[in-house]
A = this chain, B = another copy of it.
Amino acid sequence: MTSRDIGLGLVGYGYWGPNIARVGAEAEGMRLAAVADGSAAARARAGKRFPGIALHEDWRDLVADPSVDAVAIATPVATHFDVALAALKAGKHVLVEKPMTRSSAEAAILIEEAARRRLVLMVDHTFVFTPAVRKIRDLMSDGVLGEVFYYDSTRINLGLFQTDVNVVWDLAVHDLAILDFLMGGGPASISATGARHVAGRPENTAHIALYFPRGTIAHLNVNWLAPVKIRRTLIGGSRRMVVWDDLEPSEKIKVYDRGVTVAADADRIRDILVSYRSGDMWAPQLSTREALLTAVEHFAACIAGGAAPLTGGESGLRVVEMLEAASRSLAERGRPVEFETVRRAS
């Protein structure tokens, strides 16, 4: 830690906040300076764990705290905009949890404010910083997978039923951020269906399909009411296919040399012209570095060096736009919503 380390102030010490605090304390070029939380118990926990830091009940005091150079926001989505805007206006860099904001309109305002003040505005799309997603991106850009036919993700578990967001905004947001990183452009249309199984609560299960311009179809299965936790994505390409199981401790990414070939077999009852080929599987060694630490150090480096973050406000906005399109389709029982329309509207 040096005097030039960036002082990080964290707003929200609930479920995810402690992880940001821990990583902020460890990250190269950064120090944890302050935590704000309305709950006395949460502040006590933070103070016991990080004896030397400032504790604030009101986040406005943290934003005004001169020891704070950058503000990390880990509060409910509905409050992201107010905290982030105030932080930017106070001249502080901002790292905001996903989804960035409640609406694309809010996201656009934050982008504009950060640009005007030349401050770093980054969204914590943590998965973009995982070795697994980086490896998939490399496999795609190096042509190892060939043409990408589909991205099929299952992201389910027995989870907290949230009040402010439904399961799409809570879980599918991860896949949307990953797709934004991998696909180099948004989908042409989005279709979503879902259901509410607890009265008065938002949708707890949903299926979302995204149709990309070049033919890739992405399908996301998200569920807060599943008895087991699954985090598995299949990516099918014309040359190879990937299974990414994020809960697998040591072989998260498996690359299969499998696919289809044209064949003719006259001596079969079913006249098969297309058959499959099945080759070796390969699991590349991945770094075990914690993605959140990579993300927070990237935030620190962008502040120090003036570079634009990989998951800046623009990617946060695109993900919110996809969430808005999915929400619109969900309300109409799966009617495909053209995505460009949404984007232009923002």
Using a CB–CB distance below 8 Å, which chain A residues touch chain B?
A: 1, 12-15, 17, 22, 25-26, 31-32, 37-39, 41-42, 44-45, 47-53, 75-76, 149-150, 152, 154, 156, 158-164, 191, 193, 195, 197-198, 201, 205, 207, 209, 215, 217, 219, 221, 223, 225-229, 234, 236, 238, 241-243, 247, 249-251, 254, 256-260, 267-276, 278-285, 333-334, 336
Beyond the given A14-B270, A161-B273, A227-B256, please list 16 additional residue pairs across the A-B interface where CB-CB is below 8 A.
A31-B48, A31-B51, A37-B269, A50-B50, A50-B51, A51-B51, A75-B269, A158-B276, A163-B272, A163-B273, A164-B270, A195-B215, A207-B219, A227-B258, A282-B283, A334-B334
Q: Which residues of B contact A52 (CB under 8 A)?
A: 50-52
Q: State the copy count for this chain.
A: 4
Q: Which residues of B contact A249 (CB under 8 A)?
A: 229, 247
CB-based nearest B residue for A234: B226
CB of B285 within 8 A of CB of A283, answer: no
Please measure, in the bound complex, the distance between the C-alpha atom of A300 and the C-alpha atom of B280, giving whole angstroms.
Answer: 32
| 4 A-B pairs with the lowest CB-CB distances in the bound complex, closest first | A51-B52, A227-B256, A14-B269, A161-B274
Please measure, in the bound complex, the distance between the C-alpha atom of A197 and the C-alpha atom of B259, giving whole angstroms.
Answer: 11
Q: Which residues of B contact A191 (CB under 8 A)?
A: 193, 333-334
Residues of A contacting B: mostly: mixed
Q: Which residues of B contact A152 (CB under 8 A)?
A: 205, 221, 223, 226
Please judge, given known A-B contacts A48-B1, A268-B39, A274-B201, whether A282 and B280 are in contact too, CB under 8 Å: yes
From B13, B41, B228, A243 is in contact (CB under 8 Å) with B228
Please judge, given known A-B contacts A260-B225, A274-B198, A274-B201, whether A268 and B14 are in contact too, CB under 8 Å: yes
CB of A225 within 8 A of CB of B259, answer: yes
CB of A1 within 8 A of CB of B47, answer: yes
Q: Which residues of B contact A256 (CB under 8 A)?
A: 227-228
Q: Which residues of B contact A41 (CB under 8 A)?
A: 267
CB-based nearest B residue for A197: B149
Q: Max chain B CB contacts within 10 Å: which of A228, A273, A279, A285?
A: A228
CB of A269 within 8 A of CB of B227, answer: no
Q: Which residues of B contact A267 (CB under 8 A)?
A: 39, 41-42
